[in-house]
Amino acid sequence: MQLLKKIFSLAFIFFALVNATLGQVGSITATFTPDNTSAKPVTFKFSKPVFKFNNSHGYWVTSPRNGRRHINIQPDQGYGNTDAAFISISESTNDFELYTGTSNDSTSINFSNAVYTVAAPQYDVQNKDANKPMTVHIVSCTPGEIIFTISGNAERLKREGYDAKGEKGTINATAHFYREAKYDKSDLLPGCNCDPTIYANVFDEESSMVRTTSDCENALNNKVFDAVQKAFSPVFSNINNPDNVAGAIKIIMIAGHRNIDVPVLDRPYCSSDYFQNSLTGVYAQKKYFTSDDKYGIRFIRTVSNDQLGVNEGRNENTKKQAAIMDSLYKLMGAKKITMEQYSKAIENSIKNISSGLPDIKKLEVESNLYIYVILNPDNSTLTDLKLADKNNSSIQHKIKGAAFEIFSGQVKDNDGSWLANRYNIYFGKYTTPVAGKAGAGFDALNTKAIYPANGNKLTIYDIVIKMEGAKDLIDKAIANIDFNALQDLITKQ
């Protein structure tokens, strides 16, 4: 008998737990009552089962940095003629007032159905004393559950047509929603007590493949930016010359790369206040850190008229070519040469004159330098050096603290173009470079970054600095880059 009672009790508890889990359906009910007593109230009811962890249409998190609560609740997709709630809150207090059309665009609340939209009242700047706000009170906010109330004033507008003033009234609403209290975590940033929790208030696994970063990931992003910025600060201050004079060097950001030409910041080691890029790959926490920001700069050297073969006034070559063409045209007009002879003579004159002009393709290569910083390279494409000149390539050890460098000298290609000097600097641990192929069969020196089997995913283990351009510009860059700032990313973790 006692055994049967125990079985019955366990079964009852089990079914109670199942029913409790299945019964967790979140909802919000809001009733708008017009000030005009002849108009009927309207009620909105929106319900939603437990929001999944990766559903960005239903999340609420409290920032460990500043205590600010970020809340987003809305239908997963189009809502048609059904009731819907669109709630976006970014506030640090439990109680706050709300208007539509104020500066705090990150906080807004409205309800819709097939006929009406109800939102916070518009703020009247002309009659400030008459403004009466909508008020929000957050009763409870935990990872898996949120409860809040909405009261005070609101305005109702018809969805079809336009009514600038709207219909004034009051609103009363109670909201109670549930979410899977499951949050992934990143690794802890070494030496930092940052929050590794990935709250995933943005999670897009299908189209963009991005998610929100953890505070630890943000802190490492800051560390990386600060180090790269510090490393290249001397380059901007000692080399950059915006004057458009012969030989002047202008340094610019490569399109699509982070701008590091800004004042150097002195941020705390664990600073996670990272707004420049708050998203990363969906599965970034499962692999070694690779910066989502790209770091690259370009040197552009102004070319002189003499280098281009351009003299003061009109180019002498152009004058000669014009005179030859004029003479040939007169000869053909006098029928002393045929059209075929005329065409061949023009072609030969152009070739002869062009032979005295500078090699523009070579000049282009020798007036540019591209520099890229690659952190924790994860494939051989990022570590290999595709050789410009196989016969003028070498492994070097000139940069203090680097594992090695690979240099490949400038060479003229078969099609008349030029392959620029290529110089890679490797910090960290790599396999010994060996002769091989890269890409579509190009000669290369191949190497691969080495990582510990179970290393911390938020650690910089390997860095590659890739340079391609004029040899003297490469030397200028090397003389000014603060390599210690980059090495610190590796050695001080």
pTM reported for the whole predicted model:
0.68
Residue 490, CA distances (Å) to 235, 284, 293 in order: 22, 19, 18
pLDDT of res. 225: 93
Does 19 or 24 have the greater pLDDT score? 24
Give the residue-averaged pLDDT of 324-344.
68
Confidence check: pLDDT of 425 > 70: yes
Query: What is the tens place of the pLDDT at every residue in 386-397?
Result: 999 889 999 999
Query: What is the tens place of the pLDDT at every residue in 345-356?
Result: 767 766 665 555
pLDDT of res. 19: 40
pLDDT of res. 299: 92
Confidence check: pLDDT of 181 > 50: yes
Confidence band, pLDDT 50/70/90 cuts, at residue 78: low
How many CB atoms are closer than 10 A to CB 403? Answer: 19
Does 283 or 304 have the greater pLDDT score? 283
Average pLDDT, the chain: 83
Give the residue-averaged pLDDT of 115-143.
88
pLDDT of res. 12: 37
Question: Which residues make beta-bridge pairs with 474?
Answer: none
Confidence check: pLDDT of 304 > 60: no
pLDDT of res. 143: 81
Confidence check: pLDDT of 423 > 80: yes
Which of 128-137, 298-307, 448-457 is predicted with the least confidence, judged by mean pLDDT? Answer: 298-307
Residue 237, token pair as written in the block = 């201050």
Query: What is the tens place of the pLDDT at every residue in 433-443?
Result: 999 988 777 88
Query: What is the tens place of the pLDDT at every residue in 358-410?
Result: 566 777 788 889 999 999 998 888 999 999 988 999 999 999 999 999 999 99
- d(CA 444, CA 436) in angstroms, rounded, equals 5
Confidence band, pLDDT 50/70/90 cuts, at residue 23: low
pLDDT of res. 354: 55
pLDDT of res. 80: 65
**Percentage of the chain modeled with pLDDT above 70:** 80
Task: From 112, 176, 121, select the one nearest 152 (Cα to Cα).
Answer: 121
Give the residue-averaged pLDDT of 340-348.
72
Q: In a 3-state reduction of DSSP, which class is residue 410? A: coil
Query: What is the tens place of the pLDDT at every residue in 48-59?
Result: 999 987 787 888
pLDDT of res. 490: 92
Give the residue-averaged pLDDT of 271-289.
83
pLDDT of res. 324: 66
Give the residue-averaged pLDDT of 251-278.
84
Confidence band, pLDDT 50/70/90 cuts, at residue 161: low
pLDDT of res. 370: 95
- d(CA 353, CA 320) in angstroms, rounded, equals 8
pLDDT of res. 340: 78
Task: From 448, 444, 482, 446, select the one nearest 462 (Cα to Cα).
Answer: 448
CA angle, residues 309, 310, 311, in degrees to nearest 5: 115
Confidence check: pLDDT of 135 > 50: yes
pLDDT of res. 428: 96
Query: What is the tens place of the pLDDT at every residue in 192-248?
Result: 999 898 877 777 777 788 888 998 999 999 999 999 999 999 999 999 887 777 778
Question: Which residues make beta-bridge pairs with 109?
Answer: 87
Q: Please state the domain extents for the chain.
A: 24-182, 197-301+366-491, 310-357
- d(CA 201, CA 135) in angstroms, rounded, equals 24
Does 203 or 79 have the greater pLDDT score? 203
Question: Which residues make beta-bridge pairs with 252?
Answer: 298
**Is residue 281 packed enough to be buried (19+ CB in 10 Å), middle (13-18) or exposed (0-12)?**
middle
Cβ-Cβ contacts under 8 Å for 33 (sequence gap 6 or more) = 41, 169, 170, 171, 172
pLDDT of res. 319: 63
Confidence check: pLDDT of 10 > 60: no
Does 91 or 414 have the greater pLDDT score? 91
